Amino acid sequence: MTAPDSTSPPPSLSAVRVAAAVRHAVAAGLLGESSPVAGFVDTEGVRDSVAALHEAFAGAPGVLHTFAAKAAPLVPVLRLLAKCGMGCEVASPGELRISLDAGFAPSKIVLDSPVKTRDEIRRALALGVALHADNLDEVDRIAALRPSDAVSAIGLRVNPQVGGGSVGAMSTATATNGVALRDPGARERVMEAFAARPWLSRLRAHVGTQDCSPELNVAGIGETYRLAEDINSRLGRPQITCLDIGGGLPVDVTTDTVRPAFAAYATALRGAVPGLFDGRYGLVTEFGRSLMAGNSLIGARVEYTKEAGGRRIALTHAGTRTATRTVFTPDAWPPRVGAFDADGLPKAGPALVQDIAGPCCFGGDVVAPARELPELRAGDYVVLSDAGAYLFSTPWACASLPRPAVYGFGTAPGAGQDGLTVRFAPVRDAQSLDSIAAESGLAHADALLEPDA
């Protein structure tokens, strides 16, 4: 790595690992002419983040930390998290399947899909995973399907309607999510539902996502806690025994640090809602992106550079297919970008304003507009940080572009410029063109040529 000058702070440990990973990936051919884009997961960083989460809530009895599978639906990543003591929050039949494949015990899985079919409910009940109903009609459906000997914990998602974040489409506590508590009569209907069904034992409130402030999350969790207290008081029994407080801790995309840290968030909760931690309620959390932040990256080879419309543009394969949310909501998901040379070493030189564009043929496929970086040339590499959650793990199949390979990596002391050796492990293979053809209906190629089609 290029040595910092005497006035610059030393690079963070994660930055050192990232630089080592890029150099070794290029040397090993994981990034190059035949593999122009790939995703990478820093397994040491993931373990450190999970440890920080557990430490933040230490002393609170009955806490189950679950990982929101939608953030990184990759079986090896989920298995790593399971080995670290996490549970798993799932929101679809596919996520339930891969969570089981990853090794999560059913008792550590929470199903939160807002549109569950009867078959999905039956399977969850048979497995013994926890279910959170999205609405009161779903409570009725679960009641009709629930066997008398069911062991699944069952709850209701409520919406304290404390407001949305800066990206309304991605917010989860606006007017229409869950059972909206401020709608006329809603609170009373929730009370009646719990009174009629003694097996309802949980409340869930997932208030925010990346764009919501921690204060908004804390306010929503406080409202949910007070509802639980009111229900138990009305019923004269501790029927609600667990509160699912969701995730949604925002990530500071300008640094390697999660801000606020898990410890600061837990401290804020203890100050605002101390009853959460006195042992009367079990707690479930559903953190996703904040556990992957700073622990993942996309590496992409620069295929071409050009001048067009008064802008300098570096053309890569790291656009919409690998960073869909970034391209379509750029203000909410701006990635940090690093410039590396053809050998995978950090580039130096005067900063030049450049766009980092992707391979799709529409003007918006720009993953990082107007970034000041050392001048990029064909054969160089760009690295997008904080890319493991919702980005390379959930690619978009626009233009039938293949899904890129994903690798986990760990580091150890060694020789070389950075003093590290890097070991890679496959997480997801690059998608083949045969696979794309199969997914596009190749087996039924002549089906529409039949006379009655």
Q: Which residue stretches of the chain have pLDDT < 50?
A: 1-11, 165-167, 169-173
Q: Which fold has domain 59-292?
A: TIM Barrel (3.20.20)
Q: Strand pairing partners for 38?
A: 299, 405
Residue 362 pLDDT:
85
Residue 211 pLDDT:
59
Residue 327 pLDDT:
87
Q: Comparing C-alpha atoms, which of 363, 227, 391, 371 is closest to residue 299? A: 391
Report pTM: 0.92
Residue 3 pLDDT:
39
Residue 294 pLDDT:
78
Residue 315 pLDDT:
97
Domain boundaries, the chain: 28-42+296-432, 59-292
CA distance 68 to 110: 9
Q: Which fold has domain 28-42+296-432?
A: Lyase, Ornithine Decarboxylase; Chain A, domain 1 (2.40.37)
